[in-house]
């Protein structure tokens, strides 16, 4: 079980890297600014918990930027960890299908809380907004699923070689 958890976390980290790279590529190509929603979500959650982020305006903004990015990494690694624990389910699916499901799960895990906090309203998103959200999450899902499948395969090959030695 511990091995499955670690494999899932590694897959989630790989997926998160793919999501971030896709997002930054989009920003570079379209010259668009970074999204403010992660730091707005962190700020809202901190305030709801009665633990506002400290500092003057610039310090608080910098902390929120960092905490927003860290929350995205934690979400991606966490979803990967869950996928690792449910490895027997994922391994029955084609990698592309499990990738689509993992990408969808990552999108839901980020978009739903932000909508519930009133930070964004997906019903008002443009087609471009949806693409800016869907493409990086698809990159996350496919990369995480492929990495998880590769790690499972490598683990089976290692176990087989250990048995025959």
Residue whose C-alpha is closest to residue 77's, from 158, 144, 32, 155: 144
Give the chain's largest Cα–Cα span. Answer: 63
Band of pLDDT at residue 162, cut at 50, 70 and 90: very low
Q: Is there a contact between 69 and 35 (Cβ–Cβ < 8 Å)?
A: no
Write down the H helix ranges in the chain.
Answer: 2-30, 37-48, 57-85, 87-90, 95-116, 127-164
Q: Which domain holds residue 117?
A: 2-164
74 pLDDT exceeds 50? Answer: yes
How many angstroms separate the Cα of 5 from the Cα of each of 1, 69, 139, 148?
A: 6, 22, 21, 10
Residue 62, helix vs strand vs coil: helix
Q: Domain total for the chain?
A: 1
Give me 155's structure tokens. Answer: 């683990």
165 pLDDT exceeds 70? Answer: no
* Backbone angles phi and psi of 49, in degrees to 5: -80, 0
Mean pLDDT, residues 84-106: 90
pLDDT at 14: 98
pLDDT tens track for 134-149? 999 999 999 999 999 9
pTM: 0.88
């Amino acid at each position: 079980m511990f091995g499955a958890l670690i494999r899932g976390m590694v897959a989630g980290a790989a997926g998160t890297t793919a999501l971030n790279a896709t997002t930054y590529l989009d920003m570079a190509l379209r010259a668009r600014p970074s999204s403010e929603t992660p730091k707005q979500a962190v700020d809202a959650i901190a305030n709801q918990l009665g633990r506002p982020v400290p500092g003057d305006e610039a310090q608080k903004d910098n902390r929120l930027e960092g905490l927003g990015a860290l929350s995205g990494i934690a979400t991606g690694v966490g979803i990967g960890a869950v996928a690792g624990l449910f490895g027997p389910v994922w391994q029955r699916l084609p990698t592309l299908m499990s990738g689509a499901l993992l990408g969808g799960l990552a999108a839901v895990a980020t978009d739903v809380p932000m909508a519930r906090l009133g930070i964004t309203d997906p019903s008002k998103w443009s087609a471009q907004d949806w693409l800016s959200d869907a493409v990086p999450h698809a990159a996350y899902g496919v990369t995480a699923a492929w990495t998880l499948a590769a790690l499972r395969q490598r683990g089976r090959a290692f176990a087989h070689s250990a048995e025959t030695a």
